[in-house]
């Protein structure tokens, strides 16, 4: 009887440990699986991945982002018009719709005028709230407009 009781106790302890470990892994995996690829829409300027403006882009891959963190993407913006412009940033077409309640898009552009054919480096930052729940994938459009 003692031997049977010991095996039953060991099996019970191992089962509880396995279920606890599985629950912890499940929570960690869910927290790490927020992924996105977003479209860049720009008017009057070109958006590039390199400072020499050889690699134009219309897509940003934010990769995997954890709650309560931020991710930076560096882009190069070239004024392709014939007058100086300033830039405006916005985000649109969020999917799911409530994603914008938990995410903030910002940049380090200071509002300086950009002369024709000049290039400025900008860093876009996507910040994720620690309170985000139920979103494992999202998408949105990054809109870069010009004034000038």
Please report the pLDDT score of residue 4 as a whole number. Answer: 52
pLDDT tens for 17-27 read: 343 333 333 33
Q: Are residues 66 and 111 in the same domain?
A: yes
Q: Using an 8 Å Cβ cutoff, are 147 and 88 in contact?
A: yes
Q: Is the pTM of this model over 0.85?
A: no
Q: Are residues 20 and 60 in the same domain?
A: no
Q: Are residues 27 and 46 in the same domain?
A: no
Q: Are residues 68 and 84 in the same domain?
A: yes
Q: Are residues 8 and 41 in the same domain?
A: no
Please report the pLDDT score of residue 35 as a whole number. Answer: 60
Q: Are residues 10 and 47 in the same domain?
A: no
Q: Are residues 48 and 113 in the same domain?
A: yes
pLDDT tens for 76-110 read: 999 999 999 999 999 999 999 999 999 999 999 99
Print the domain residue range for 67. 35-147
User: ∠ CA(135), CA(141), CA(145), 5° rounding?
Assistant: 150
């Amino acid at each position: 009887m003692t031997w049977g009781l010991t095996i039953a106790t060991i099996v019970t302890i191992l089962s509880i440990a396995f279920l606890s470990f599985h629950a912890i892994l499940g929570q960690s995996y869910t927290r790490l699986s927020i992924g996105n690829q977003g479209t860049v829409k720009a008017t009057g300027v070109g958006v590039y991945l390199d400072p020499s403006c050889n690699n134009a882009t219309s897509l940003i891959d934010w990769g995997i982002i954890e709650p309560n963190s931020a991710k930076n993407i560096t882009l190069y913006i070239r004024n392709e018009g014939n007058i100086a412009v300033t830039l405006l940033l916005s985000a649109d077409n969020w999917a799911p719709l409530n994603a914008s309640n938990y995410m903030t898009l910002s940049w380090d552009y200071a509002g300086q005028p950009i002369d024709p054919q000049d290039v400025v480096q900008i860093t876009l930052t996507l910040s994720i709230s620690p309170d985000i729940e139920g979103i494992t994938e999202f998408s949105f459009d990054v809109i870069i407009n010009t004034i000038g």
